[in-house]
Each structure stands twice: as C-alpha cells, then as structure tokens.
Structure 1
Amino acid sequence: MAFLGFKDFDRLSEVDLDIYRFFTENVEKVPYMRVRDIATEAHVSNSSVMRFIHKLGYESFPEFKVSSHAEQEKAHVTDHRINFITADNFPSDIYSKIELVADKMQGSDQIIFCGVGSSGALAEYAARQTAAVGFNSFCVKDPFYPLVTQLKNTSNNLLISFSVSGKTIELIELLNNFVNDEDVTLVAVTADPSSQLALMSRYVLSYSTDQKRIEKYYDLTTQVPALYVIEQLISTARRLALQQNEKL
C-alpha cells in the first residue's frame, strides 16, 4: 500500500508510529475507513491521523484514499502465466562471452562474486556452485567489506559482479578500487550493458528483462536471466576444466 514504503521513521512521533502500525496491520481495510474510524480503532485523535497522512506526503485524506485504492487494485492484478526466458533475453554473442569468462576462470587464483540485495543472493549461490566444481571462490554481499585489504598482495583475481540496473552506487564504489588494478579482472552481469558497472568492467555478460518495482522501493525484477548466466558460466568452466585435465 501507499504507506508501506515509508522510510523516514525519524520524523514520526510515538503516536505516528501507533498509527503506522495500525495501517500495516489493517492493509486491506484502511483504504475504506474514515478518519474518525481510524482514530477510534488506533486509539488516537482525528488530528493525529491527519498529521500522519500529511507526513506521508498527501495533502488530504481523500488523496491518500485514492492512492491507496489504486495500489490495492494494482496488487490484486495477477498474471498466472509462467514466462520462461528465451534467446531474446540475451545478446547474440552471449555464449562466446561466457566462453571467454569461463576460460578466464581457469587462470584465476581466486574468483570473487559480488552483489547487493537480491543480487547478493545470486552472488552467494554462484560462489557456492563454483566452489563445488573445484574453483577457489567466495562471495561478498557487504559493499563495505574490506576487499581492497584482502586482495592486497594477491594476483590473478576475477571479480564478477551482479546488478540488474548496473547502477548500484555502493557496489560501484567498491569496484572503483579495482578498475586500474592489473591483478583484478572485472566482470559485470547486468541487464544494462551501457551502465556504469558495465563500462568499468572488462567483460560484460548482459541480458534483457523488464525491471519491476512496487511501492517505489521494492525491486521485484526477475533474476532468472542472471541465474541462467550463472548456470551456463559454471557449466562451461567445468567443461573447460575437464578438457584441460584430459590433456595432462
């Protein structure tokens, strides 16, 4: 609902927080209630309810109700189709690029997977699967992790980062430390090949997908294309490793 994305809690008084809790516990019925009904059930005054509505950014209670109704209707619209990814989700040279990155993995002393939020979960999965097939890998989900210090005096590092938008500020700030580092090769997995993350990376494994947000703050963009890239990358790297072992 319209109030669920509110984050500026420092501006809220104890009474405001009581109203906010009432709103979040009664998401379905709040858009249909009157000010005095909310005040009665939340055990506050009418004026307290209105002050809270104004803090949410609405000039009037009717405006708040209209916005809440619209958000509720949007939330109830569902699409029951299962949309699997196709070749259209990827550039025509995606497999050749995956081959290049997989080959780079063979010569790397360690592989670091980075991401924030849902992309961090992908990075963790990628690191686990990569380690399972015999590569020295780990995951960094904290953009403030002292990675610069950890990689000091090391070489042949492959740093693979995940970001749908390619514009995650904290991630970009972390990677800026390695742009000119000869011992770290940057790889981006992103839906925007023209993003800052992509431009600062040596290799870009891109895909296309519709970015989706609700309540302005919550990212519901599918990570299936990025997961597909991970699976293909690991499969290719394992194949190359097996071929190399057969030659020995």
Structure 2
Amino acid sequence: MAFFGFKDLSSLSSVDMTIYRYVSQNPDKVVYMRVRDIAQNAHVSNSSVMRFIHKIGFNSFPEFKAYLSHNDLLSKPKVSEMTYFDASNFPKDISLRLELVANAIYQSDNVVTLGIGESAFMAEYAARRMAFLGYNANAITDPFYPLHGKLKNAVNTIIICFSVSGETTELIELVNKFVNNDEVTLVCVSSNEASTIAKMSRYVLSFSEERHYLANYYDLSSHIPVMYIIESLDHVLEKMVTD
C-alpha cells in the first residue's frame, strides 16, 4: 500500500497520526533515519513506529524506507505550487503608485470601490478593509446602480475601479460619467495599463497575471496579485492613520 495514498485516516490513532504527519512532512529526512530516530523526532516509542508502519500496509521497516526512497515527492520542490507571483507581476514603480493613491484616499471624504463579476469580490474586500481603517468606503457591484445621482452633491470622492481587462463595457459607461468631475479622483486596478478604464483614470495600479480559463468560459485566473495590491494599499493607509 502506498503510504502517501493511505486514505483510511479514521483508522489511525492519535499516536499514528503524529507519526503520519512527521513522516509525510519530512520524507527527505526520514529516508535516512532508523526506527528510533523517527520515534525520537516524533516523540513516540519505537514500538509505536513499527505498529504504524504495519498498519499502513508495509511488511517491514526496510520496505517502508524503500518506498520513501523512490517516492516522487522527494524530487519535487515543495513550494513550487505555492509561488503565485513575485515582483515581476507589478510595475517597478508600484510602491510609488501605492503611496500616491494612499495619500489621495487619506485626504478624501468618500471612497467608492467598483467591480462586477469576479472583481466584485475584490471591490467588496477593498471597501471592507478601508472601512476598518475608518474611511467612509462603500462597494458598488451593480453596474446599473445610480452612482452619479448618489454622488451628485458629494465632494472629494475617490472611485477605485477593479477590472482585470479594463474594458468592461458597463464599468466604462459608469466611470465615464465622472471623468470631468473635479470632485472625483478615478483609480484603476487592472492588468491592462493601456485599457480604456486605465486611460480614464488619474492613477493606475496595474499587475500582470496569466489568464486561465476552464472550457474557454470560466475564468479561473488568480486574484492574488489584486489582493496584494489591496492589502499593500491598506498597509500604507494604516501607517498614515497611526503615525
């Protein structure tokens, strides 16, 4: 029986699970250990290790170690699948852009975040975090919401538009109503710095991310770069509030 394919975890005792976790997290070390070394590091007895090895389907300790020696897990980088983005996903001046946008938000009276579809979740997330910091922030995820009328008499407002493509027709129509409004500062968070919404905005917080679709329809692209922008912006804002 393959150790890492062992599925009947409910049959394992608490001591078994302790050994299971230690071995599965340290296969590259365990392959060179003796029974007593595993027992010592897992803080269990030698006999507990042997009972565990037999319980998961191996006839002997050498058989167990032979499996570990040939297991693909040992030759794969453990963190490669967790590397979603790095500095190359953002423009070189992203820190300066974040500072400029944060300063504009700090001096504003109202913050509105816009987004539809998947970007609606990012807009809501951003508004909620800024509200925690004491800003009058609200998320609009309905492109037909009468935002122009709501902000008719408002002053010193920032609108942050989340759009991966920057070409969403409904958002373009909504944002276009504020392009010539001196009381509104437009900010675009998009992967396309040359997009229509980006060109309409004063500030652009851009990122690059490979688009991933399932069946050419369902967008499964990562939003982690967007979350990084949101949380980095909040970090700058928090410093402004507390300093």
Give the whole-Å Cα distance in 2 for the aligned partners of 1:209 and 1:177: 29
The equivalences for 1:21-170 within 5 A come to 81-170=81-170
The equivalences for 1:192-231 within 5 A come to 192-231=192-231
Give SS of 2:82's match: coil
Aligned CA-pair RMSD: 1.1
Give SS of 2:204's match: strand
Give the whole-Å Cα distance in 2 for the aligned partners of 1:230 and 1:223: 11
Length-normalised TM-score, structure 2: 0.66
Give the whole-Å Cα distance in 2 for the aligned partners of 1:196 and 1:145: 21
How far does residue 149 in structure 1 lie from its aligned partner after superposition? 0.6
Which digits, 9 at most, give the CA deviation of each residue in 1:218-248, with x for residues without a partner?
11111100100000001101111222xxxxx
Give the whole-Å Cα distance in 2 for the aligned partners of 1:153 and 1:212: 42
Query: Number of residues paired by the alignment?
Result: 164
Give the whole-Å Cα distance in 2 for the aligned partners of 1:171 and 1:127: 17
Give the whole-Å Cα distance in 2 for the aligned partners of 1:224 and 1:141: 19
How far does residue 97 in structure 1 lie from its aligned partner after superposition? 0.4
Which digits, 9 at most, give the CA deviation of each residue in 1:82-110, with x for residues without a partner?
22321111011000000000000111101
Give the whole-Å Cα distance in 2 for the aligned partners of 1:147 and 1:190: 21
Give the whole-Å Cα distance in 1 for the aligned partners of 2:136 and 2:234: 13
Higher Rg of the two aligned structures: 2
Tell me which stretches of 4 or more aligned residues in structure 1 moved more than 3 Å.
none
Counterpart residue identity of residue 169, structure 1: T
Which digits, 9 at most, give the CA deviation of each residue in 1:94-130, with x for residues without a partner?
0000000000011110100100111000100110010
Counterpart residue identity of residue 124, structure 1: E
How far does residue 191 in structure 1 lie from its aligned partner after superposition? 0.5
Counterpart residue identity of residue 175, structure 2: L
Give the unaligned 5+ runs of structure 2: 1-79
Q: Which residue of 1 aligns with 2:183?
A: 183
Give SS of 2:208's match: coil
Give the whole-Å Cα distance in 2 for the aligned partners of 1:134 and 1:84: 31
How far does residue 217 in structure 1 lie from its aligned partner after superposition? 2.3
Counterpart residue identity of residue 126, structure 1: A
Give the whole-Å Cα distance in 2 for the aligned partners of 1:223 and 1:153: 34
Q: Which residue of 1 aligns with 2:54?
A: none
Length-normalised TM-score, structure 1: 0.65
How far does residue 215 in structure 1 lie from its aligned partner after superposition? 2.5
How far does residue 211 in structure 1 lie from its aligned partner after superposition? 1.1
How far does residue 189 in structure 1 lie from its aligned partner after superposition? 0.4
Give the unaligned 5+ runs of structure 1: 1-79, 244-248
Give SS of 1:81's match: helix
Q: Give me the identity figure in percent.
A: 45
